[in-house]
Structure 1
Amino acid sequence: MGSDRTATQESTTRARTRRAILDAAVARLSADHAASLADVAEAAGVGRTTVHRYFRERSDLLAAIGTDVRERVEAATARARLDDGPAPEALDRLCLEYFELGDRLMLLDDVPQFWAWSGLDEEEETPSDRALLALVRRGQQDGTLDPDVDSTWLQNVLWALLYAAWEQTREQNTPQHTALSLCLRTLRKATAA
């Protein structure tokens, strides 16, 4: 019984340490794309050998960040409940969820080589992409979203507006709630039937 509890505690501690390293890596690499594993270790408050225990090479860390971002996007999409209620409200919920992932998504966008390092395909359609496109088509069919605009175009508009909101907070020091309000307001106008 005691060994099960010890194993569970060790597993929880490892997961927390790994999460701290990933979070620190996102913060550090967002500020300095050339940050080393030693820089990440310092930001995470762990030793360099601890980072190397979890991620042997920088490419391993980048791959883990890429996987983490994909998982977070999928979880955010699920939390947005895209099948519930009118399409514009579901689109707002999705935008709110994605907005919280700004640092991670901006990092992927800011470092052109990231996709190659992480082993992910930037152009690959994900389950979240398919869910968003299905939501747009549903809204177009029921008349709550503009039926004359291509669904892929509206998907790209959503991402462009999110990027603009993230940039507004980063470059103009606009409060996040203000940038998000501007993003949602513009999205609603762009998608209105």
Structure 2
Amino acid sequence: MSEGVVTETGVRARTRRAILDAAIETLTKQPSATLADIAAAANVGRTTVHRYFPERSDLIDAVSFDALDKISQGTKRARLDEGSAPAALARLCQEYFEFGDIFQLLFTMPDLVTRPEWQEENEDDRALLGVVERGQREGTIDPAMPKEWLLQLLWSLLYTAWEMAREKKTPKHEALGLCLRSLEKVLAVG
């Protein structure tokens, strides 16, 4: 009997994931998309979407928390406390590059990042600032560059790489390579 529960839970989890992924993709292209639009993109019925997310705001909440969770997982995988600070930031860019759809959605729907969960500094924010500060202390990141400036440049480089891959059809590996090369030059001391 417990196998049936596990299977149902697995099916529910996959369906929920399909809806969230479809929401991210659909809302990035059309921020005013309806639940019916998202259901069609997820290849499920509108009633299925309503079963998981009764209101559009419930789906937006789930997308927001899912994005934060993915960012947190990517930050952990980047191992920011290992190696030089520039190498750690390069690993972080590689991780975050894979979440281009999520970040594109955040840029497309700026009201998402004004939500309370995005306004509070979290562990990932502190880790990112910490690696920049560590690099400046160690002399591997230019201390004349304010850390807030460097973080904005990092986000700008990632955004440019995502746009090049998405809009200009630049191969992903090439866009990421240009991003990493530019980051290396931005962080360089001297």
By the TM > 0.5 criterion, same fold?
yes
Does 1:106 pair with 2:104? yes
Deviation at 1:121, TM superposition (A): 4.7
Does 1:29 pair with 2:27? yes
What's the secondary structure of 1:172's corresponding residue?
coil
Deviation at 1:125, TM superposition (A): 1.7
Deviation at 1:176, TM superposition (A): 1.3
Query: 1:178–1:43: structure 2 CA closer, same or farther, 3 Å change rule?
Result: same
Aligned with 2:184 (options 181, 185, 188) = 188
Aligned with 1:179 (options 159, 175, 182) = 175
Deviation at 1:5, TM superposition (A): 1.6
If the length of structure 2 is used for normalisation, what is the TM-score?
Answer: 0.94
Percent identity for Structure 1 against Structure 2: 53
Partner of 2:53: 55
Partner of 1:165: 161
Query: What is the rounded CA distance, in whole Å, between the counterparts of 2:119 and 2:156 in structure 1?
Result: 16
Aligned with 2:88 (options 80, 87, 90) = 90
Does 1:151 pair with 2:147? yes
Query: What is the rounded CA distance, in whole Å, between the counterparts of 2:18 and 2:158 in structure 1?
Result: 25
Supply the AA of the counterpart residue of 2:174: T
Supply the AA of the counterpart residue of 1:162: L
Deviation at 1:59, TM superposition (A): 0.7
Unmatched runs of 5 consecutive residues or more in structure 1: none
What's the secondary structure of 1:177's corresponding residue?
helix
Whether the 8 Å CA contact 2:113–2:119 is kept in 1: the answer is: no
CA RMSD of aligned residues (A): 1.3
Whether the 8 Å CA contact 1:66–1:120 is kept in 2: the answer is: no
